[in-house]
Amino acid sequence: MEKQQRKMNERHKGSFLRKVFFNKDEHSHSSYGIFGQGRNRSNKWVILCLGLLNIVLLTVAVVLGINCAKVKEGSLQVSHSAATQLINELNYLRSNHSDVIEAEEEAKKALERAIKNHAQLKVQIQQLTTINDGYQRQIEALKTEKTNLKSNISALEGTCGKCLSGWILFNSSCYFFSYTESSTVIKNWPDSRADCISRGADLVVIDNPEEQTFVSDNIKILKGRRGNWESGFWIGLTDIETEGTWVWINNVTEVEQRYWVDGEPNNHGQRGEDCGLAVYRATNPWKTWFDGKCEDHRFHWICEMPSR
């Protein structure tokens, strides 16, 4: 039915056009022609606008293409410049890296040389320190010698050159008190006498009251007011030949019995105290002698020799 209806409409439309075109008056025919001409003009404008639009689009595309090419070329140039700069920096860093490695090697060698030099300097410092210590000891020895020389000069001036250095002049004799040379060295009676003989003298022989006083006063000066026998000095007195018979080593001087401390000599109960020693006693400076064991007891000693 739809097909039949469509055919009827087409027939009706064709008859209508024919009527209008052929049966109407001239006016209707011209109107149809005018209508056809207006439609053709609209189509031309549309085609013209589309053409212009195509031209505009083509122009825009060309412009965009050119700009894109420029941007791409610029970006390539920028990338190429940046890459060149990076390559240059990389080469510079490589060159610097080599220089750094060489500098590091030189620094290591310099450090090794410095360590070696430091070790050598340390050895030299130790050697110089040892030498300096030696010089210091020599200086101290020279100072001591200088002091001794000054003391000797004073002693020589005091004794007018009649006695050796360290000896004391009294009347016509010179006396050496071993305590002045060393406060710690003590000997038995035989060794003390041997020391005096090695000095060209002998143990002191007290043969007058003035000499007794001189010996006692000097013991007081050296050891103070201690009156015990342990602070005594060996003198040249012994009864080693005959027990109880005390004689001086020169066999000349008579022994003054009054200089013995009360109760001395006592031989300490037959124990062989056969050698004499002198001390200082504030209670009675005239009674200053003890007897002691010649071999076993050890004391300082007094030497005597004639003055020059």
Higher model confidence: residue 190 or residue 48?
190
What is the average pLDDT across 47-61? 79
Decide if pLDDT at 227 tops 80. Answer: no
Higher model confidence: residue 72 or residue 240?
240
Domain around 59: 2-74
Decide if pLDDT at 165 tops 80. Answer: yes
Decide if pLDDT at 76 tops 60. Answer: no
Number of domains composing the chain: 2
268: CATH:
3.10.100.10
What is the average pLDDT across 130-136? 86
Q: Is residue 270 part of a domain?
A: yes
Choosing from 74, 103, 132, the residue where a domain stops is: 74
Residue 219's contacts (CB-CB under 8 Å, 6 or more residues apart) are 177, 231, 232, 233, 278, 279, 280, 288
Residue 149: per-residue pLDDT: 62
Decide if pLDDT at 16 tops 50. Answer: no
Q: Is residue 108 part of a domain?
A: no
Q: Is residue 137 part of a domain?
A: no
Decide if pLDDT at 31 tops 50. Answer: no
The string of DSSP letters for 146-191 reads HHHHHHHHHHHHHHTTSS-TT-EEETTEEEEEGGGT-SS--B-HHH
Decide if pLDDT at 25 tops 50. Answer: no
The string of DSSP letters for the chain reads -HHHHHHHHHHHHHHHHHIIIIIS-HHHHHHHHHHHHHHHHHHHHHHHHHHHHHHHHHHHHHHHHHHHHHHHHHHHHHHHHHHHHHHHHHHHHHHHHHHHHHHHHHHHHHHHHHHHHHHHHHHHHHHHHHHHHHHHHHHHHHHHHHHHHHHHHHHHHHHTTSS-TT-EEETTEEEEEGGGT-SS--B-HHHHHHHHHHTT-EE----SHHHHHHHHHHHHHHHTT--SGGG-EEEEEE-SSSTT--EETTS-SPP-GGGBPTT---TTTTS---EEEE---SS-TT--EEEE-TTT--BEEEEEEE--
Decide if pLDDT at 230 tops 60. Answer: yes
Residue 152: per-residue pLDDT: 54
Decide if pLDDT at 38 tops 80. Answer: no
42 and 177 inside one domain: no
Residue 206: per-residue pLDDT: 96
Choosing from 36, 54, 74, the residue where a domain stops is: 74
Residue 265's contacts (CB-CB under 8 Å, 6 or more residues apart) are 239, 246, 273, 276, 289, 290, 291
CA distances from 119 to 110, 129, 188, 206, 286 (A): 14, 15, 55, 68, 72
Q: For the segment 264-304, what is each residue's pLDDT rounded down to a tens digit?
A: 999 876 678 999 999 999 888 889 999 999 999 999 999 99
Q: Is residue 59 part of a domain?
A: yes
172 and 290 inside one domain: yes
Q: Is residue 277 part of a domain?
A: yes
Residue 181: per-residue pLDDT: 95
Nearest C-alpha neighbor of 234 from the set 221, 254, 219, 250: 219
Residue 18: per-residue pLDDT: 43
Q: Is residue 145 part of a domain?
A: no
Q: What is the pTM of this model?
A: 0.51
Choosing from 36, 58, 74, the residue where a domain stops is: 74
Q: Is residue 12 part of a domain?
A: yes
Residue 75: per-residue pLDDT: 58
51 and 168 inside one domain: no
Q: Is residue 153 part of a domain?
A: no
Q: How many angstroms from the chain centroid is the CA of residue 42?
A: 110
Q: Is the peptide bond between 306 and the residue preceding it cis, with omega within 30 degrees of 0?
A: no
190 and 288 inside one domain: yes
Mean pLDDT of the chain: 80
Residue 197: per-residue pLDDT: 98
66 and 187 inside one domain: no
Decide if pLDDT at 306 tops 80. Answer: yes
